[in-house]
């Protein structure tokens, strides 16, 4: 069974019951990955995104989780994995047209609150995609 195809994002939205935050960017990223045989890279990006989303959730609820003694370790792990998402996106964006590549760089790679927010939204979407892919693989 082919996991990746042009309608995958619509299927993910049906699966999670909500619209994706960065759907246009994800459509571009998946399209580039399909065209350049980089779907393994996309799956790694989805895995990292799911992990980052989990770290962000733990960090935002750390005061309610008695097992979390220190958030410093979580912050370090989050920082390392955000860098990994950026690196993975850079590897994929190399194959994009200059205009698309510039848009991705501006939206996700700048050191700014806006880029961080965009990365958070992207990681939430990647989390949804990874859950969907895991569900497909179990069937």
Tokens standing for 30? 């998946």
Quick: pLDDT tens for 99-111. 999 999 999 999 9
Q: Where are the domains of the chain?
A: 24-138
As a whole number of angstroms, the distance between CA 137 and CA 113 comes to 36
Helix, strand, or coil here: 32?
A: helix
pTM score of the predicted model: 0.91
Per-residue pLDDT at 1 exceeds 50: no
pLDDT, mean over the chain: 92
């Amino acid at each position: 069974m082919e996991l990746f195809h042009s309608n995958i994002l619509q299927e993910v939205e049906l699966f999670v019951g909500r619209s994706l935050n960065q759907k246009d960017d994800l459509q571009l990223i998946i399209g580039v990955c399909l065209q350049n045989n980089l779907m393994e890279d996309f799956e790694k990006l989805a895995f990292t995104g799911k992990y980052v989303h989990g770290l962000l959730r733990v960090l935002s609820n750390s005061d309610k989780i008695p097992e979390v003694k220190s958030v410093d370790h979580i912050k370090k792990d989050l920082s390392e994995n955000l860098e990994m998402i950026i690196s993975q996106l850079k590897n994929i964006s190399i194959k994009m047209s200059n205009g698309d590549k510039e848009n991705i760089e501006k939206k996700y790679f700048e050191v700014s609150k806006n880029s961080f927010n965009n990365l958070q939204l992207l990681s939430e979407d990647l989390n949804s995609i990874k859950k969907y892919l895991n569900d497909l693989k179990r069937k």
